[in-house]
Chains A and B, each alone.
Chain A
Amino acid sequence: MALQRAARVAFMFVMMNFAVVLGLFALRRGREVWK
């Protein structure tokens, strides 16, 4: 259970950093995104 929790936290960290890269490319599509 602890390993699974740590694994999910690690996954979130990687995902967030990947989002930085995707965010750079998504900027052009930004206006279409409604918050």
Chain B
Amino acid sequence: MRTIFWLSIATIAYVYVGYPLLLAAWARFVRRSPRRVPIAAVASWPSISIVLAARNEAARLPARLTNLLTIPYRGRREVIVVSDGSTDDTHEVVSAFGHAVRLVQVPAGGKPAALNAGAAAATGDILVFADARQEFSTDALQHLAANFADPRVGGVTGELVLDAEEQATDSTVGDGLSLYWRYEKSLRRNESTVWSTLGATGAIYALRRQLWRPLPEGTLLDDVLAPMRVVLAGWRIVFEEEARAYDRASPDAEAESRRKVRTLAGNYQILKQEPRLLVPIVNPVWLQYMSHKVGRLVVPWALLGSLFSSAGLMFDGWVYACAFGVQTLFYIIAAYGGWSEHRTRRSARFSGGALGEVTR
């Protein structure tokens, strides 16, 4: 019982505190920044193919495509929209852009199949992946592309900026999301400096086209699997903070929970799809992957382990009694947070509030 308690505490502490500190020190020591060329000094820009998978996105596409076509990029660019069995006006909306946007139609088969079709149709040196919902910052494409001047860089992930981070949201989970997202980004920044990030942000990332391998059917996290395959092949995926995509936070806990379940199911799935990630010699970012990604899968079980073991040991010493008390208090506070979130959501519904509407 004592072993379970201390092992659980050590796991939680390492994943959330020890690893970030170790990584920060490592990043400071190594400082392996990509040999990125300043935008003004780039002599020849690679050609890019922007691939956007969409299903029934007729309402969002006009603004999105205008954004992708008008932000500056000095090299050749093509925009490919893959319609994944859309049944609304998606095809008409895309056709209205004429030759500026290529439409690829595929039967409804899910995002991985749509991305495979988009990548197969692409002709640019660099594939840039985007979603219909977000908006890119003005220089996003140029900042992404400038990193490919470094021959070790196989991919670049941009930064997803949530409205919750700018305190400009109606989301009832904005506080927690903002904190979590800032914490995640600091890990990503340091992992990039050490060697490579452990995936990318689906809303904005780029890969060399030559490194693209078709995604297996049913892949949940294309933005982790595709970049990690590039990393396993010996390339770097770097984090470019100047390339931004703007999005809104999940409107409430229910929506965020659905998103999280999907992400975490994807993390299990990737271990099955790419077991090489678990092999130290094969995976160049093995320690980071085990500490960050696998660690997150282990922590919930460690939380349960520490709670039940401290309950069983609470009469064996003040340390265990304190640990049990602190955990109980934490869960009571969390339950209050859940109740408060639920109440806010319900009152917003009754008053016709605009939960989830962007207020930025």
Residues of A bordering B, CB below 8 Å: 3-24, 26-27, 30-31, 33-35
User: In angstroms, how far is the closest chain A Cβ from the Cβ of B257?
Assistant: 6
The answer, yes or no, to whether B262 is at the interface (CB within 8 Å) is yes
Q: Which of B28-36, B229-237, B292-300 makes up part of the contact surface? A: B292-300
Contact partner, B334, options A11, A19, A22, A34, Cβ 8 Å:
A11
Q: Find out whether the CB atom of B253 lies under 8 angstroms from the CB atom of A23.
A: no
Q: Find out whether the CB atom of A8 lies under 8 angstroms from the CB atom of B262.
A: no
Q: Find out whether the CB atom of B337 lies under 8 angstroms from the CB atom of A24.
A: no
A10 to B110, CA, bound (A): 34
Count of chain A to chain B residue pairs whose CB atoms are closer than 8 Å in the complex: 113
Contacts A14-B334, A23-B263 given; indicate if A8 touches B268 (C-beta within 8 A).
Answer: no
The answer, yes or no, to whether B261 is at the interface (CB within 8 Å) is yes
Interface size on B, residues (CB 8 A): 43
Q: Find out whether the CB atom of B110 lies under 8 angstroms from the CB atom of A24.
A: no
Contact partner, B175, options A5, A27, A30, A31, Cβ 8 Å:
A5
Chain A residue with minimal CB distance to B220? A30
A26 to B263, CA, bound (A): 10
Contacts A4-B337, A34-B55, A34-B111 given; indicate if A20 touches B296 (C-beta within 8 A).
Answer: yes
Chain B positions 151 through 189: 1 when the CB is less than 8 Å from some CB of chain A, otherwise 0: 000000000000000000000110111011000000000
What are some 18 contacts across the A-B interface (CB < 8 A)?
A: A4-B336, A8-B175, A8-B176, A9-B175, A11-B335, A11-B338, A12-B173, A12-B253, A12-B337, A17-B299, A20-B296, A21-B300, A22-B261, A23-B265, A30-B266, A30-B269, A31-B217, A33-B220
